[in-house]
Copies of this chain bind each other. A is one copy, B any other.
């Protein structure tokens, strides 16, 4: 469970807003990318491949939250430490700590499920149990 993957980013000019600091939805964008890098580090391939192999189109969010601890601006390198904090039936909690060096900027959490296209309506999605082989790596 304590397996942690660290993703690195660089805050760019265009990531910041007229108040000179990161436009906050971008922190969620970095968490989303960090989640994918974490999945890849756990051996899960791209959603394109999981869709072809198992019908899984992605790991959409049930809940996302972030506590903004310190502001950040460009051009600063940042890192995101991602780990599975908890398993809750079909859903799981990813914890993301976004840091600039040792300074914590954001403490984030994403609750996700693995999803397939809803057979009843291809415009919608549907949760499936966490695949055994993935779960085996996390618990």
> Which A residues lie at the B interface, using CB under 8 A?
12-14, 16-21, 23-26, 28-29, 32-33, 36, 40, 46-48, 57-58, 60-68, 70-71, 73-75, 115, 123-125
Contact = CB atoms under 8 A, between A and B. Distances in A.
Number of copies of chain A assembled together: 4
Given A20-B48, A25-B26, A32 B61 contact: no
8 A-B pairs with least C-beta separation: A65-B65, A25-B28, A19-B58, A25-B25, A25-B29, A19-B57, A16-B18, A12-B33
Contact of A66 (B47, B63, B124): B63
Contact of A13 (B32, B71, B115): B32
Given A40-B75, A65-B66, 9 more contacts: A13-B47, A14-B17, A14-B29, A19-B57, A19-B58, A24-B32, A25-B26, A64-B68, A70-B124
Contacts of A67: 62-63
23 contacts: A12-B32, A12-B33, A13-B32, A13-B33, A13-B58, A14-B23, A14-B25, A14-B29, A16-B18, A18-B18, A18-B20, A18-B74, A19-B57, A19-B58, A24-B32, A24-B60, A24-B64, A28-B64, A48-B123, A62-B67, A62-B68, A64-B66, A71-B125
